Amino acid sequence: MKKFYLSIIALAVGGTVAAQSTFDFESVTLNPDSYDNGSAQNGDWIFTQNESIRMTNVYDTAWGGIWNGFAISNTTDLSTMDYSNQYSAAPGSGAGNSSNYAIYYQPGTISTETIGAQITEFKISNTALAKLIMENGYFNAKQFGSPNNANGQPDGTNGEDWFRVWFMAESEAGDLDSMEFYLADYRFADSTQDYIVDTWETIDLLQAFNFPVSTLNFKLESSDNDPVYGMNTPAYFAIDDIKTTGLVGISTNELTSIDMYPNPAREVLTVKAPKGQITLVDMQGNLVLSEAHDVQSTLDVSNLASGVYVIRWSSASDSYTNRIVIQ
């Protein structure tokens, strides 16, 4: 299966700049082949390591129990094609063959609970149910790649079907942006390139957004829709290994005294921070600039290629990183 996903670039930035956490949900105790969809009505999931994250969960006892947000699961059913199998991930396990992972059913939100922390990365895949239904069709949901809807009538797609999720990101400062990721795509002229994601794929938020992401909302869309009831494709995805970074060792006074502007920058970048060292690194990990800093520095960026850079302020005991866009 040919995949068209985000390219991932490792940043070779020296030094320890922040505390990092990976939330893999293994701390949730589950029986084998089971799940927790919030039926105990304990509210949102809150996980804590160096930082804390909140993942929304709402459970309504009406209609035998309806939930949305996130459930934690370790089920491995890859063959049952009905809604009793809404908790299995298409890869058959968690990321890295771990046991637990989370299942999303819209709407739902992931947010940091720690001031100054950001969500940097996570892994995503389809659920087994969504994959099976897209492959085979089921009741009112069509088979992807077919020019016909579930009733066998031409639906105008010519089989160019797709299923995507929007990541809607927000920073603590109120910055907003979004990106899309295709969980299935049948729009290629060469049908051998059509795919349904059934492996764990990495979403790098540091590369995708030019601000630190503290909150993520999600929106699922499909080419297969009912004019009355909306999307026919099951509105689920699986998520695992959510990574966060938090500022370490910087007092509140020091943190509030660090300022880097404008962002995006065109000609000059101004840095206001305690005495230390400033380094600038491009997205390939190349050191672009390094100079001593004392209270305020004015950096000439007019000769730099347009793109995203990682800027780091450091002192003998503290450090702070951010991303800067050069236009």
pLDDT in tens, 167-225: 999 988 888 999 999 999 999 999 999 999 999 999 999 989 988 999 999 999 999 99
Which helix or strand (DSSP H or E) is residue 205 part of? helix 205-208
Q: Is domain 252-326 classified as CATH 3.40.50.150?
A: no
pLDDT reported for residue 250:
45
pLDDT reported for residue 1:
28
pLDDT reported for residue 5:
25
The predicted-structure confidence for 243-277, as pLDDT tens digits, reads as follows 998 754 444 444 446 788 888 888 999 988 888 88
Q: Check if the beta carbon of residue 161 is closer than 8 Å to that of residue 186.
A: yes
Domain boundaries along the sequence of the chain: 18-247, 252-326
Across 49-175, the runs of DSSP E, i.e. the strands, are 52-55, 57-60, 66-73, 101-105, 109-112, 118-125, 162-170
The predicted-structure confidence for 77-125, as pLDDT tens digits, reads as follows 999 999 999 999 999 999 999 999 999 999 999 999 887 789 999 999 9
Question: CA–CA separation, 288 vs 152, rounded Å?
Answer: 59
**Which of the pair, 8 or 76, is modelled with greater confidence?**
76
Phi, psi dihedral angles at 254 (to 5 degrees)? -65, -45
The predicted-structure confidence for 129-174, as pLDDT tens digits, reads as follows 999 999 999 999 999 999 999 999 999 999 999 999 999 999 888 8
pLDDT higher than 80, residue 322: no
Handedness of CA 257, 258, 262, 264 (dihedral sign): negative
pLDDT higher than 90, residue 327: no
Helix (H, G, I), strand (E, B) or coil at 64: helix
- In CATH terms, the fold of domain 18-247 is Jelly Rolls (2.60.120)
The predicted-structure confidence for 293-306, as pLDDT tens digits, reads as follows 888 889 999 999 98
pLDDT higher than 80, residue 8: no
Sort residue 156 into left (φ over 0), alpha (ψ -120 to 50) or beta: left
pLDDT reported for residue 180:
97
* DSSP string computed for 26-48: TTS---TT-EE-STT---SEEEE
User: Residue 195 is encoded by which pair of tokens?
Assistant: 């795919």
What is the rounded average pLDDT of the residues 232-253?
A: 80
pLDDT reported for residue 247:
55
Which helix or strand (DSSP H or E) is residue 83 part of? none
| Residue in this structure with the two tokens 């995203």, named with its chain if needed | 308
Q: Check if the beta carbon of residue 122 is closer than 8 Å to that of residue 240.
A: yes
Q: Check if the beta carbon of residue 35 is closer than 8 Å to that of residue 75.
A: yes
Helix (H, G, I), strand (E, B) or coil at 77: coil
Phi, psi dihedral angles at 85 (to 5 degrees)? -110, 45
**Which of the pair, 266 or 128, is modelled with greater confidence?**
128
Question: Among 42-46, 258-262, 312-316, whose mean pLDDT is lowest?
Answer: 312-316
What is the rounded average pLDDT of the residues 12-33?
A: 75
Is 252-326 the same fold as 18-247? no
| Residue in this structure with the two tokens 């850079």, named with its chain if needed | 309
pLDDT reported for residue 18:
53
Relative to beta strand 201-204, strand 215-222 is unpaired
Q: Check if the beta carbon of residue 324 is closer than 8 Å to that of residue 279.
A: no
Q: Measuring CA to CA, which residue among 84, 86, 41, 83 is closest to residue 62?
A: 41
Q: Check if the beta carbon of residue 225 is closer than 8 Å to that of residue 232.
A: yes
pLDDT higher than 60, residue 41: yes
User: Residue 41 is encoded by which pair of tokens?
Assistant: 């009505």
What is the rounded average pLDDT of the residues 34-52?
A: 92
pLDDT reported for residue 274:
86
Q: In terms of C-beta density within 10 A (0-12 exposed, 13-18 middle, 19 or more buried), how is residue 176 classed?
A: exposed
Q: Measuring CA to CA, which residue among 129, 29, 149, 142 is closest to residue 82?
A: 129
What is the rounded average pLDDT of the residues 51-79?
A: 93
What is the rounded average pLDDT of the residues 52-65?
A: 90
| Cis-peptide, bond into residue 107, ω within 30° of zero | yes
pLDDT reported for residue 4:
27
pTM beyond cutoff 0.75: no
